[in-house]
Structure 1
Amino acid sequence: MAQMTREPSTGDRAGTTRAARLFLAASFVLVAFNLRPVFSSASVLLPDIIEGTGISAFAAGVLTTAPVVCLGLFALLAPRLAGRFGAERTLFVLLLLLVVGVAMRGLGTVPLFLGTAIAGACIAVGNVLMPGLVKRDFSDHASLMMGLYTMALTLGAAVAAGVTVPLQRAFSGSWKGALAIWALPAVIAALVWLPQVFGNSSRARRATRSVEGLWRDPLAWQVTLFMGLQASLAYSVFGWLATILRTRGMAAGDAGALVSFSILVQVVSCIATPLVAARCRDERPVNTALALFATLGLVGFVFLPLSLGWILAILQGAGQGGLIAIALTMIVRRSPDSHVAAHLSGMAQCVGYLLASLAPLAIGIIRDLTGGFTAAGILFACIGTALLAFGLGAGRNLHVGARAIPG
């Protein structure tokens, strides 16, 4: 396996002040906040979108699946774009395109699908670049920064899940306005990120190299499949949990609140998990516990009484938040340097999110064929079992057998 090579962090580079580093960390968090509202804001309004547009449950499944597919299809572009234009400049342009994509969702049925796809493509590249930047700029505090990063991801999803239905009421029942309004936080993130474009783009362009041996490495594939399986559960929650609860008789506002609460629990779990894992010899015990929590909670939403909903929300949220945090943390910890981390991030998120996109699509098909979600509960159990198995392999204290080649 590759040996660890310590790269200078932002704090090690001459001329970098503590205030500048704190501002960079805050910018990371704000960018991360905008990488999930696209998913959860649409999911809580899915029945209203179906009613307002007349699309089928299968088409609704496509709507929830399209951005996840884009996460996979566009993930491998991230290292190339960063190498050509600089990671900071690439992120800024993507934030602007994210604004466009999110705003388009409020223009009608066709723009809804197109804007969702554009937003998914932008999020894909941002997802891949962020772990590599953490490895490069915060190597001395990587676990803390990955915790903050994943906290912001889940916080963005939680806020969107909880606030979108009230926003719909504020827009006189318009689901279009309630979806389009989420472009505003992306505008703010772009403005806050702008100083990084002028300060670091030339350095960032020199930071990405070719990497060999990654796609043949078994450990890299275990990390990749762990990422994909945990994302399958996550995007099932984002895309369908509110609809599952509403189908079982829960009011729309209550379903949105419960999903939001579950994702808020993820906020706590995702910041605590990397810090706990950093104290362990490896991540295998943590991966096992988190996989069990997330799977049992999600299966319970399908089969157990709704009176247990808040308990299940805590269980599922604790597991799911920890899973995304540990999946991203393992990308950093299994990589010997930031160059390998960027490419492992691209591999894990390309293959992983393409795999994850099948889950919400399958749930839409299940709903069309059966009229309910019982079979979806069985699907969740199967995904959780495979997640547990790959978590044991990916959690070993090793580096992937890949190396960066100077360009």
Structure 2
Amino acid sequence: MSSAKRTGFFLVAGIILVSINLRTSIASVGPLIPFIREDLGLSNGLAGFLTTLPLLTFATFSLFAPAIGRRLGVGRAIFFGICLLAAGVVLRVLGGIPLLLIGTALTGIGIVIANVLLIPMIKIRLPDKLGLMTALMATMMSMFAAVSAGISVPLAVDLDLGWRGSLAFWAVFMVLALVVWIPQLTRPKVAMTGTGQVVKNVWTSKLAWFVTIFMGCQSVMYFTFTTWLPDMLIFRGWTPVEAGAISSIMQLFGLLGSYFAPGILIRQKQQSTSTLIVGVVYLLAFTMLFVEVEWVTYASLILIGLCMGASLSIGYVFISLRTAEDETTAKLSAMVQSIGYYLAAAGPFLFGLSLDFFANWDYLIYFMLFFTLQFIYFGLYSGKDLKV
């Protein structure tokens, strides 16, 4: 293998392995909430906060990610982010509630640094493979979110690792990603450059705000639903293992949406119609959850999984297609993941509080329907053929 091919291989493999680790530390928590709650005596609100906390750190520290990328170089900054993520995953299982919260916050900081900078990294280093690599990035995130959700309970129960060992298991993949990413540390610093145009101020752009709120709605729906779905199914009579399995199946179907959506979207002049179709399917699928029949639940969750995978890819494609300059892409990525995740952070926590007060699982469905309508509204404008 020539030096250029070897370099390209390690870059692609590194992007895939980094992507694998961007959801596992969060998706693995939802099925284990009943175990964590019982062991540590958490309320439903604090249990929901376990998913909200990394979102708050996403939102806060994403604003610093472009500056970290400029200072260290994009490749070194991504390596630093995965190091923080691995440290947080280990720290949160070593003690009681304080270490759980501190470690969880640290995982969020690590994730957001890598997540914000992967998109401009792909655009800079692999511009001719933008659609394919965006698809692989979103697909790997969705795939391992599904795997982690599905095997978290078996790891804890069947392998007798407990919730601590189950959560710590995912550090293995983070170490693997760090090893494969090492060649990127020896390369010259990858800087973000413009195209001869003035870098835009994304904070004053209407389009940037629509893309941001669109991604926020998508994130609210994903993190709230994946956090509380297992508990809702257990309330309806499913076992913890069954609830974790169907959550995994839902996210596995998301792979189809996340993989095929970027290729379809990039070939379109504008993406508004595709976004509308996804939104309408969301509305149908969430409404079906009111019917407490097993096959209807399976059908609705399969549709929701497809839409969640597609909507994540749509958000990432918007960040790339709605900007012209690399630096603007990084700044829009940071803005999207800052404001968007501040919006998303409220979801799991607020629903947990509503469950403490009202003990009504139908509120979860109403919550999803409301944000689906916002998803459609902001997605229609974000999909127009415009540049920030």
Residue 50 (structure 2) aligns with: 63
The answer as to whether partners of 1:83 and 1:207 remain within 8 angstroms in 2 is no
Gap change, CA 1:299 and 1:101, over 3 Å in 2: farther
- Which structure 1 residue ranges, 5 or more long, are not aligned? 1-14, 401-407
1:52 CA drift (Å): 1.0
1:362 CA drift (Å): 1.4
The answer as to whether partners of 1:293 and 1:318 remain within 8 angstroms in 2 is no
Residue 84 (structure 1) aligns with: 71
The answer as to whether partners of 2:93 and 2:168 remain within 8 angstroms in 1 is yes
Q: Deviations over 1:176-214 (max 9, x none)?
A: 1111111111111111111101114x2x24648994421
Residue 122 in structure 1 maps to residue 110 in structure 2: yes
Q: Deviations over 1:346-378 (max 9, x none)?
A: 011100011011111111011101112212211
1:259 is matched with which residue: 241, 247, 263?
247
Residue 377 (structure 2) aligns with: 389
The answer as to whether partners of 1:303 and 1:377 remain within 8 angstroms in 2 is no
Residue 218 (structure 2) aligns with: 230
The answer as to whether partners of 1:39 and 1:238 remain within 8 angstroms in 2 is no
Residue 102 (structure 1) aligns with: 89
The answer as to whether partners of 2:81 and 2:112 remain within 8 angstroms in 1 is no
**Distance in 2, Cα, partners of 1:105 & 1:372:** 30
Instruction: Please tell me the residue identity of whatever aligns with 1:139.
Output: P
SS at match of 2:203: coil
**Distance in 2, Cα, partners of 1:67 & 1:269:** 25
Gap change, CA 1:122 and 1:298, over 3 Å in 2: farther
Instruction: Please tell me the residue identity of whatever aligns with 1:380.
Output: M
Q: Deviations over 1:16-74 (max 9, x none)?
A: 72332132111101101001011111101111111111110011111111011111111
2:278 is matched with which residue: 267, 290, 309?
290
**Distance in 1, Cα, partners of 2:176 & 2:40:** 30
Residue 35 (structure 1) aligns with: 22
Instruction: Please tell me the residue identity of whatever aligns with 1:267.
Output: L
Q: How does 1:169-188 map to 2 (within 5 A)?
A: 169-172=157-160, 174-188=162-176
Instruction: Please tell me the residue identity of whatever aligns with 1:393.
Output: Y
State, as a whole percentage, how many aligned pairs show the same letter. Answer: 31
**Distance in 1, Cα, partners of 2:249 & 2:150:** 8
Instruction: Please tell me the residue identity of whatever aligns with 1:81.
Output: I
Residue 23 (structure 1) aligns with: 10
Residue 323 in structure 1 maps to residue 311 in structure 2: yes
TM-score by length of 1: 0.90
**Distance in 1, Cα, partners of 2:191 & 2:145:** 31
The answer as to whether partners of 2:84 and 2:109 remain within 8 angstroms in 1 is no
1:240 is matched with which residue: 224, 228, 231?
228
1:247 CA drift (Å): 1.5
Instruction: Please tell me the residue identity of whatever aligns with 1:306.
Output: E
**Distance in 2, Cα, partners of 1:27 & 1:187:** 12
Point out the more displaced range, 251-260 or 366-375. 366-375
**Distance in 2, Cα, partners of 1:254 & 1:206:** 46
Gap change, CA 1:113 and 1:208, over 3 Å in 2: farther
Q: What is the Cα-based RMSD across aligned positions, in Å?
A: 1.8
**Distance in 2, Cα, partners of 1:192 & 1:376:** 40
1:269 CA drift (Å): 1.0
1:217 CA drift (Å): 0.7
1:199 is matched with which residue: 180, 187, 195?
187
Gap change, CA 1:355 and 1:302, over 3 Å in 2: farther
2:330 is matched with which residue: 314, 322, 342?
342
Point out the more displaced range, 321-330 or 103-112. 103-112
Residue 154 (structure 1) aligns with: 142
Q: Deviations over 1:285-343 (max 9, x none)?
A: 11111122234334433554333222112100111100000100110011102111111
Residue 44 in structure 1 maps to residue 37 in structure 2: no
Residue 281 in structure 1 maps to residue 254 in structure 2: no
The answer as to whether partners of 2:120 and 2:330 remain within 8 angstroms in 1 is yes
SS at match of 1:399: coil
**Distance in 1, Cα, partners of 2:72 & 2:271:** 35
Residue 59 (structure 2) aligns with: 72
Residue 145 in structure 1 maps to residue 133 in structure 2: yes
**Distance in 2, Cα, partners of 1:319 & 1:376:** 17
**Distance in 1, Cα, partners of 2:64 & 2:203:** 16
Instruction: Please tell me the residue identity of whatever aligns with 1:35.
Output: L
**Distance in 2, Cα, partners of 1:351 & 1:211:** 20
**Distance in 2, Cα, partners of 1:298 & 1:208:** 42
**Distance in 1, Cα, partners of 2:286 & 2:174:** 30
Q: Deviations over 1:252-297 (max 9, x none)?
A: 1111111101111111110100111122221111111112223433
Residue 363 (structure 1) aligns with: 351
TM-score by length of 2: 0.95
Gap change, CA 1:232 and 1:206, over 3 Å in 2: closer
Q: Deviations over 1:161-184 (max 9, x none)?
A: 111111112442611111111111
